């Protein structure tokens, strides 16, 4: 199960996560929503302004209305409070609307750009990064960025405005009592920002460990049959449990640190309120304060507490969002290792019968310890059928993956129709090469929509011709809706053999010059396999066919058979020649026919 290594260690966090790069990237997305990014904090500040007016009105109610028993004054003040609350609510709703619109819009743009960028990456980058890592970046990380932007637009001006506004208004009430605010606010800032800087790197580690857990989960769900076949359930459960425990431990650790925020801030605020009550009592006795003024000061201190708690949550969320934005930026800055020319200008096909030529080709995967292919030489003529056979891990798939340039060679040259694959534009190269992967993959939709991936302009006649050749026409006709039969995710409503035949048909709809069947008939019975090979041979034209198979019977009639062993080409020729000259081929053949019995 090779995916585990890629999923766990594929992407390093390095200099790409510097704060200025991250903020620059976020700013680029937010710039498209300038109006929303301005209006959201503006309406939040209006809301804050009305909130700051409430303690002043309450103080006047106590100092004038209640003290002098003015019922009409109290009623008018209550009406004013109701108006302030209503206007504040409207401002809050409007601010929330614009903040949500900007945050969701930024996340949508980011997710779209990330998906487009991932589509531009080659197989090497995908192998190195890992599927679970990319899924985490596109879902969890982008959602964290969205929440961070939303919270930031709502609170980054409102909370400081109320904090400093409350302190300034407290000076208008009583300068001596206001000095408590001057001492309290810096103390609270030390606690809040200290915890922020403490937790920011820890949240980054939590997200990295989440990648590991997702990688193990994906691997086990994908390879569940292998796990059960070798009775490895207990060891895999233990491995998952260890990784999950580490994630839980990290989350609890950072959670405990973040949990210090509330008790420490409440402790400071409560001491400040005690100080206000003590100072207020003295000032009231000497006539420097009224009872309503003390209530107003306490209300402002309470508002500061609430806003600092919000600010603390904002800082924590923004810290997580910045860490996640950095992880997204790391993927965005991952450059594709392959460069393709834009067109075939000046290209004249060589006067050669070679469809594919391997000239001293070697391949070493990124971070691999040894070469997967070493010094491969062969020529495949136009219209020939080429068989590729060898033991597990001998390099069969690696060899055929070099033809459509899914990977770049590390030495030598692969040429198609006399032109090196590096000189082919991507669309032209992939247009003339049809590939059917080892794992049959269908997509949600219908049989028709899956087949049209090969050629979106194909007619129904073209689709049925491809299905006939792929030996899939009979079971498709048996479906109630025929070509319009629904295909569930991954094609799980079809058998393995049916999925393989549909993927072969999809490649045939393309009418490629070179067709690669990478062990894509392994689920077919011998009769269907033979009928498929016969139908492929009957296709008019000069289509070159590469058949990768573990079955010697599938390759006996090939024009050339390539025998691979540990990444080296140990035999090349027709079936009868290889039985005499190639021990590796003879061993495979005898294991399937003479010793195992022909079946």
Summarize pLDDT for 419-428 with one digit per residue, the tens: 899 889 888 8
- The Cβ of residue 48 has, within 10 Å, a number of other Cβ atoms equal to 26
Distances (CA, A) of 63 to 57, 70, 72, 290, 299: 10, 11, 14, 7, 15
The percentage of the chain sitting over the pLDDT mark of 90, rounded to a whole number, equals 31
Cα 404 to its chain centre, rounded Å, is 25
- 222-251: buried (b, 16+ CB within 10 Å) or exposed (e) per residue? ebeeebeeeeeeeebeeeeeebeeebeebe
Q: Is residue 343 part of a domain?
A: no
Confidence (pLDDT) at 209: 87
Predicted TM-score (pTM) above 0.85:
no
Q: Is residue 11 part of a domain?
A: no
Q: Is residue 4 part of a domain?
A: no
Q: Is residue 55 part of a domain?
A: yes
Residue in the structure block whose two tokens are 């800087």: 197
Q: Is residue 480 part of a domain?
A: yes
d(CA 2, CA 281): 73
In a shared domain, residues 328 and 359:
no
In a shared domain, residues 326 and 379:
no
| Inter-residue contact 331 to 154 (CB < 8 Å) | no
Question: For 7-21, 167-181, 242-256, 359-373, which range has the lowest pLDDT when averaged over its residues?
Answer: 7-21
In a shared domain, residues 69 and 195:
yes
Q: Is residue 598 part of a domain?
A: no
In a shared domain, residues 269 and 319:
yes
In a shared domain, residues 313 and 395:
no
Half-sphere exposure of 204 (CA within 13 A, CB side): 16
Question: For 75-84, 110-119, 164-173, 560-569, which range has the lowest pLDDT when averaged over its residues?
Answer: 164-173
d(CA 516, CA 358): 15
Residue 339 has pLDDT above 60, yes or no: yes
Q: Is residue 340 part of a domain?
A: no
d(CA 551, CA 575): 12
d(CA 568, CA 363): 11
d(CA 520, CA 436): 6
In a shared domain, residues 324 and 387:
no
d(CA 182, CA 180): 5
What's the average model confidence in pLDDT over 343-355? Answer: 60
In a shared domain, residues 310 and 406:
no
Provide the token pair at 124: 């090497």
In a shared domain, residues 482 and 542:
yes
- The Cβ of residue 347 has, within 10 Å, a number of other Cβ atoms equal to 15
Task: Tally the domains of the chain.
Answer: 2
- Residue 195's pLDDT band, with cuts at 50, 70 and 90, is confident
Residue 389, phi then psi, degrees to nearest 5: -140, 155
In a shared domain, residues 322 and 431:
no
Report the CATH number that the domain containing residue 504 is assigned in CATH.
3.40.50.300
Confidence (pLDDT) at 352: 54
For 578-591, what is each residue's pLDDT tens digit?
A: 998 888 899 888 88
Residue in the structure block whose two tokens are 């103080």: 59
d(CA 561, CA 20): 56
d(CA 543, CA 534): 14
Report the CATH number that the domain containing residue 136 is assigned in CATH.
1.20.1560.10
Q: Residue 470 sits in which domain range?
A: 354-365+372-592
What is the radius of gyration, based on Cα positions, of the chain?
Answer: 35
In a shared domain, residues 318 and 361:
no
Q: Which residues touch 497 (CB under 8 Å, ≥6 apart)?
A: 523, 524, 525, 528
| Inter-residue contact 167 to 186 (CB < 8 Å) | no
Residue in the structure block whose two tokens are 């003024």: 293
Q: Is residue 34 part of a domain?
A: yes
d(CA 7, CA 215): 5
In a shared domain, residues 318 and 382:
no
Pairing of strands 373-381, 419-420: unpaired
Handedness of CA 416, 418, 421, 425 (dihedral sign): negative
Strand partners of residue 547: 387, 517
Q: Which residues touch 174 (CB under 8 Å, ≥6 apart)?
A: 279, 283, 288, 289, 293, 297
In a shared domain, residues 280 and 168:
yes
Provide the token pair at 77: 């003040």
What's the average model confidence in pLDDT over 161-176? Answer: 85
């Amino acid at each position: 199960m090779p995916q585990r290594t890629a999923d766990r260690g594929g992407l390093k966090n390095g200099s790409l996560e510097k704060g200025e790069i991250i903020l620059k990237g976020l700013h680029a997305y937010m710039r498209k929503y300038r109006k929303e990014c301005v209006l959201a904090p503006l309406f939040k500040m209006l809301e804050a302004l009305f909130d700051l007016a409430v303690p002043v009105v309450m103080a006047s109610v106590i100092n004038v209305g209640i003290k002098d028993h003015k019922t009409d004054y109290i009623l008018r003040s209550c009406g004013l409070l109701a108006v302030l609350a209503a206007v504040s609510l409207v401002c809050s709703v409007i601010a929330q609307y614009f903040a949500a619109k900007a945050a969701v819009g930024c996340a949508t743009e980011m997710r779209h750009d990330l998906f487009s960028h991932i589509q531009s990456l080659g197989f090497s980058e995908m192998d190195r990064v890992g599927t679970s890592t990319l899924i985490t970046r596109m879902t969890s990380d982008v959602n964290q960025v969205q929440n961070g932007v939303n919270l930031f637009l709502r609170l980054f001006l409102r909370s400081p405005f109320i904090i400093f506004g409350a302190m300034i208004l407290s000076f208008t009430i009583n300068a001596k009592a206001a000095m408590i605010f001057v001492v309290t606010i810096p103390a609270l800032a030390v606690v809040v920002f200290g915890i922020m800087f403490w937790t920011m790197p820890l949240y980054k580690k939590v997200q990295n460990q989440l990648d590991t857990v997702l990688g193990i989960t994906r691997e086990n769900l994908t390879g569940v049959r292998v796990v059960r076949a070798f009775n490895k359930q207990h060891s895999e459960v233990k491995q998952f449990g260890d990784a999950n425990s580490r994630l839980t431990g990290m989350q609890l650790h950072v959670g405990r640190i973040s949990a210090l925020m509330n008790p420490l801030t409440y402790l400071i605020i409560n001491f400040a309120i005690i100080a206000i009550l003590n100072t207020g009592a003295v000032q009231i006795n000497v006539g420097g304060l009224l009872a309503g003024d003390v209530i107003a000061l306490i209300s402002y201190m309470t508002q500061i507490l609430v806003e600092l708690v919000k600010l603390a949550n904002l800082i924590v969320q923004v810290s997580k969002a910045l860490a996640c934005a950095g992880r997204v930026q790391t993927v965005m800055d991952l450059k594709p290792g392959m460069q393709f020319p834009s067109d075939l200008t000046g290209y004249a096909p060589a006067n050669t019968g070679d469809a594919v030529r391997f000239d001293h080709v070697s391949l070493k995967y990124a971070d691999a310890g040894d070469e997967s292919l070493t010094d491969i030489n062969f020529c495949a003529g136009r219209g020939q059928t080429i068989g590729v056979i060898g033991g597990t891990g001998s390099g069969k798939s690696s060899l055929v993956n070099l033809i459509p340039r899914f990977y770049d060679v590390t030495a030598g040259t692969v040429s198609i129709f006399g032109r090196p694959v590096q000189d082919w534009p991507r669309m032209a190269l992939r247009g003339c090469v049809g590939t059917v992967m080892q794992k049959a993959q269908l997509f949600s939709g219908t049989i028709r929509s899956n087949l049209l991936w090969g050629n979106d302009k194909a007619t129904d006649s073209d689709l049925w011709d491809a299905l006939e050749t792929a030996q899939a026409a009979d079971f498709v006709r048996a479906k109630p809706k025929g070509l319009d039969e629904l295909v569930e995710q991954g094609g799980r409503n079809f058998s393995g053999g049916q999925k393989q035949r549909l993927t072969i048909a999809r490649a045939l709809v393309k009418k490629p010059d070179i067709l690669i069947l990478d062990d894509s008939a392994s689920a077919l019975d011998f009769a269907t396999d033979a009928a498929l090979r016969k139908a492929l041979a009957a296709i008019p034209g000069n289509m070159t066919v590469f058949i990768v198979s573990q079955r010697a019977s599938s390759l006996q009639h090939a024009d050339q058979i390539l025998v691979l062993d540990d990444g080296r080409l140990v035999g090349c020729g027709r079936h009868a020649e290889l039985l005499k000259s190639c021990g590796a081929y003879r061993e495979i053949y005898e294991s399937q026919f003479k010793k195992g019995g022909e079946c």
